[in-house]
Every structure is written in structure tokens, then in C-alpha cells.
Amino acid sequence: MILLVALASTGCKGRSIKEENPVFTAAPPRRSLVNHSADAEEQRLAQRRPETDGVTQVGYSRLSKEGPLSGTSVVAEVNGKPVFVDDVLGGARHIIENDERLPDEQRQAVLESELRKRLPKYVEDQLIIQALEQKIPEDKRKLIGDSLEPRFQELLEDIKTKEEFVTDQQLNDRLATENTSIDQLRDNFTRMQMVEGFVTTLCNVPETIDRDELVRYYQDHIGDYTPDEEVRYAEIVVRFRDHGGIHGAEKVMTTVVTQLDDGQDFGDVAQAMSDTLSAEKRGDVGWLKRNALTDKELEAMLFDMPVGKMSSVLTREDRFEVFKVVDHRAPTTTPFQNVQKSIEETLLAQRRSDARAKVREDIRQKGIVETIFDGERDAKPR
């Protein structure tokens, strides 16, 4: 679905556009907060609703809490302004309703499921848009929209490239099959940028963090900057079953030990004589971290052995084994100065995230919202 690709391409956070002193200069609002496909009566009622101090009082409800959902069904009221199914789902509703794989009786259930997933975020964004509209003059919002147009055009070019389209008309024709258009993509793009940009400008996050706090974080998370102790080892395994039993395996292992004592390379012997898959890698098993093996005696032996040292032959229930430690990495803590910048970036990112969440919550708490899911819906098959 091209619409989903387009929205994903904008990123989840968006990028705010700031001037030196304005309250906000990110993207403009949607061209209409009322679904254009709604019938004239719904639009007339929406426009006639009284407002007090910038917040419309909810005096009645036209929420579609019963019966089947259509594109013009009102699924929420945000400070008294209606939100329609198509506002939330857009072209997804058209796709669901025309999906031949879905039985008729399941389409309503799928529509409701998608609404449940998308409506909370849409409503929250709508509250932010209304807050922005109260604070930012319309002429300034127009300038914001003009400044975002080049970025939207870049997005269109990316979509056309991925879909192998040459012209906007080809893209529009394809979008029409999803019951959407380039203009609607533009609306969704600017809406997302508007929301994210406005939230960003309301966040009060410092550009840097005091060194003392960075040091405290480093000390509290010292384990994150201290890699586990590891050894790299190789093995030669002679299995009883591959040599007719324990006596045949003893003869093979005796040959292995003789060759090693004569100074032959451990990897060469492993490749020629070992019975396990590690033979293909000249016996190399790779790196082992402490506490990774269930055989604690073997693990302790490997970590105690000097690099280059070979073990004596170990006898198991079904095999003989000999090991060699190839390398040993001791746990060395990365110095603070080497990670100071990454720690600061981590803390600043967390503060920005927390600040954004607080801004959203503050706006949400001031809003008056009602949705069809506040109570039980009596959804009937279409």
C-alpha cells in the first residue's frame, strides 16, 4: 500500500523547522479537519457547533456506536469536532472493503480492529493540531506549508522510484486504486510534520549535559562499558561410534597426540582427524564468554589455560577430546573519555523522549474526547 510506504518514509519523529524566535514553524495543518467525503448535513452540523474559549463544548453525540461503519461514520469527537472513519483509515478502508479474501461478515471486524489500533494516536495528534491552530496564525501556517513542499516532493520522487513510475499522473492513477491521491498524501505528510514539529518546539531540553552527570551515568552503568571475559579455543574430538568403539577411538587419539607432540599444527591435525563439524574450521570453535557453558569444569579449564596451551586428553562417555586456547580477552573497561559523547547522546535522546511524552500528555489532559470505543459497540455485519 503506497500510502503506508509514504507515511513510513517520513519517519516516526519527523523534523521540526525552527526560526530564530517564532513559537513554531513546522508543517501546516490539514486543509480540513472535516472529512470531505462526509455528507452536507454532517458538515453543516460540524460548522454550527458553538465554541467557548477556543474549545468546543460537547453538547450532543453523533458517534456511530451502533450499526455498520462507513467512511463517513463519526468515530470520535475531539473538543467537539467530529473525526470520521476515513480520517483515521484513509485508503485502508477502501482496501479492506474490497479485499476479496475477506468474507463479508469479517470486514466490519477488520475495520474495527484497524480503528482500535489507529484511533488513539489520531485523536492525540488531533488535539495537538487544535492546540497549534489556537497558537499559530493561519498566514504563518501557510508559510510553513510552503517551506515543506520541497521535502514532500522528495518523498514523491522516492515513491515513484520505488514503484517505477515516471510521472505524477502514473502515481495518482495507482493511488486512486487505494482510494487516495497525491493531495491526500500531502495532507498526511504535512499533518505528521505539523504534529511532531509543534511538540518539539514545546519541549524544553538542554543542548548539553553536565560532565558530573555523565560521569555518574558511566559509573552506574560501568558493566555496559566492560566487555565479558572471553577465550577462543579449538578442539579435536574423536568419537567412539566413528571408529568401531572405544578401542578404535583410542588408537586414533593416540595418533593425534603423537602428531601434536611432534609439533604438527593443531589446526592441521584437527582438520584431518577430528570427527565433528569444527574440523572444517581447523578445530576452531570460536569465542566463549564466561558462564556460557553448562560444563563448568571444562569452562574453568579453558579460562585458566594460557594462550597456546593444549589440554590433556579428556575422556567422555562417547568420545575423547583435546583442546587448545587460541586467544584470551580479559575484561577491560572502556575509558570514560571514549564513551562520553555517546553517553551524552543517550541521555539527551531520553530527555527529548520524556519531554515529548509530557507535552503530549499535557495537551491530552486538557482536551475533551469521546470515541465509539468508550462504550460497547453493537457492530452488525454489512
Mean pLDDT of 230-241: 97
Cβ pair 278, 237 in contact under 8 A: yes
Q: Counting runs of H as helices and runs of E as strands, what totals does the chain give?
A: 13, 9
Please state the domain extents for the chain. Answer: 2-208+353-374, 227-329
The CATH classification of domain 227-329, taken from the options 1.10.357.10, 3.10.50.40, 2.120.10.30, 3.40.50.300? 3.10.50.40
Across the chain, mean pLDDT equals: 83
pLDDT for 89-133, tens place per residue?
Answer: 988 888 888 888 988 888 899 999 999 999 999 999 999 999 999
Task: Read off the amino acid at residue 11.
Answer: G
Residue whose entry in the numeric block shows the C-alpha cell 556460557 = 292
Which tens digit of pLDDT belongs to each residue from 293-352? 999 999 999 999 999 999 999 999 999 999 999 999 988 899 999 999 999 999 999 999
pLDDT greater than 50 at residue 199: yes
The crossing angle, in degrees rounded to 10, of helices 138-163 and 182-202 is 120
The DSSP line for 161-193 is HHHT--SHHHHHHHHHTTT--HHHHHHHHHHHH
Distance of CA 335 to the CA centre of its chain: 31
The domain at 2-208+353-374 falls in which architecture?
A: Orthogonal Bundle (1.10)
Q: What's the pLDDT score for residue 2?
A: 52
